[in-house]
């Protein structure tokens, strides 16, 4: 999955969905709220 040109891995854990942004061997865990915040800014 691509988000804003970045490769994002979507992982569903129970009822929660986590987005892992993999960038230069650094994994950033992004919550769904943060994703929605990104989308509402655009």
- Domain locations along the chain: 2-41
Residues 2-31, mean pLDDT to the nearest whole number: 71
pLDDT band at 10; cut points 50, 70, 90: confident
Six-digit token pair at 10?
């979507």
Cβ density class 12-38: b for 16+ within 10 Å, e for less: eeeeeeebeeeeeeeeeebeeeebeee
Q: What is the pLDDT of residue 33?
A: 78
- φ/ψ of residue 21, rounded to 5: -95, 115
Q: What is the pLDDT of residue 7?
A: 73
Residues 10-18, mean pLDDT to the nearest whole number: 82
């Amino acid at each position: 999955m691509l988000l804003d040109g970045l490769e994002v891995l979507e992982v569903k854990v129970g009822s929660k969905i986590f987005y892992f942004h993999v960038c230069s061997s650094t994994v950033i865990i992004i919550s769904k709220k943060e994703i929605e915040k990104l989308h509402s800014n655009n």
